[in-house]
Amino acid sequence: MHLFWQILIDGFAISALYALGATGFTLMFGVSGVLNLSHGAIMVVAAVVGWLVAGNTGAGAVGGTLLGILAGLLTAYATYFVVVRPIQRSKAISSDETEIFVLTATLIWGIMIQSGLDYLFTDNPVAMRPLIGGVTSLAGVRTPTNEIMIAVICWVVIGLLWLLVNRTRIGKALLAAAINPRGLTMLGFELSKIHFLVWTIYGVLAGLAGVLLASFLGTSPADTGTLTASAFSIVVLGGLGSVSGSLIAAYVVGYLETITAYLVAPTLRPIPALLLLVIVVYLRPQGLLGRR
């Protein structure tokens, strides 16, 4: 029974982190049609910068977290302006081939970031100091208070994003861009500004997810591929472009990985989610809540 509660609590926290990262990933695809395969690399950049700042300056864990988020945002901007936007605007690439070029380019970009982190900083796992110390007892399980706070932060941020998208004028413009971008331009909105905004939101969410992951489990440049695979699995399982589907899928993937780590082996934690992805793609290609 103790193990059951341990899996339940740890799975909830890691799933909240996955939900946070996948929400930005899904929102960006829904608005701009981009599947960013350097997602894990952006998260790890934020984690490594947060770790460096928190451990080597007087900024502490909070300062490390803030600068880590900024690093994730700047890396997202670099991904957009250096990799994605030039491909989207290239006259040498037909519109039918743009998506595959973006997928390939962001994959290569992620590998370059991983290699750069290995060379400049470290290829070893890094872990930030907890944002808050102490231990809390939940159902008889002694759980780090930091872990509970991380889950709360993730859901507060997701809630704020929901308010932004559904209760503000710019949020409704984001929704309109996902449904009918041409109609949005006819109303006087510039799609380039909408895309910049969605990359900004994505960068903040990915950066926050990265530093929180470093504070919770720790991470390393070698995890970039695994983190990208987890996010990709979540958005495909949930349905491409469906934020609510991604939230559900994040908990499916998070708990599958947690159960595998506890009951089988930590090194095999991504395997069940990837197998589930194959099954879902075969039986229901549009995902849980997707329409296409």
Confidence of residue 137 (pLDDT cuts 50, 70, 90): confident
Predicted confidence (pLDDT) at residue 189 exceeds the cutoff of 80: no
Residue 292 lies in a domain: no
Residue written as token pair 């296409």: 292
Confidence of residue 153 (pLDDT cuts 50, 70, 90): very high
Residue 14 lies in a domain: no
**165-176 pLDDT, tens per residue?**
888 888 888 888
Confidence of residue 101 (pLDDT cuts 50, 70, 90): very high
pTM of the entire predicted model = 0.91
**Residue 125 to residues 116, 169, 177, 206, Cα–Cα distance (Å):** 15, 42, 39, 19
d(CA 56, CA 40): 24
CA angle 226, 127, 221 (to 5 degrees): 35
d(CA 227, CA 210): 10
For the chain, give the mean pLDDT.
88
**4-45 pLDDT, tens per residue?**
889 999 999 999 999 998 898 888 888 888 989 999 999 999
Helix (H) or strand (E) run with residue 240 in it: none
Residue 229 lies in a domain: no
Residue % of the chain over a pLDDT of 70: 98
pLDDT of residue 292: 52
**Average pLDDT of 199-214?**
95
**Residue 170 to residues 81, 167, 183, 198, 240, Cα–Cα distance (Å):** 22, 9, 15, 10, 22
**269-282 pLDDT, tens per residue?**
888 888 888 888 88
Helices then strands (H, E): number in the chain? 12, 2
Between 117 and 189, residue with greater pLDDT: 117
3-state secondary structure of 137: strand
* Structure tokens belonging to residue 279: 């099954």
Residue 269 lies in a domain: no
Residue 193 lies in a domain: yes
Predicted confidence (pLDDT) at residue 162 exceeds the cutoff of 70: yes
Residue 155 lies in a domain: yes
Residue 45 lies in a domain: yes
Residue 214 lies in a domain: yes
Predicted confidence (pLDDT) at residue 186 exceeds the cutoff of 90: no
Q: Which domain holds residue 108?
A: 21-223
Task: Report how many domains make up the chain.
Answer: 1
Between 90 and 286, residue with greater pLDDT: 90
121 in Cβ contact with 41 (< 8 Å): no
* Structure tokens belonging to residue 163: 């308010």
Q: Phi and psi (nearest 5°) for 195?
A: -65, -40
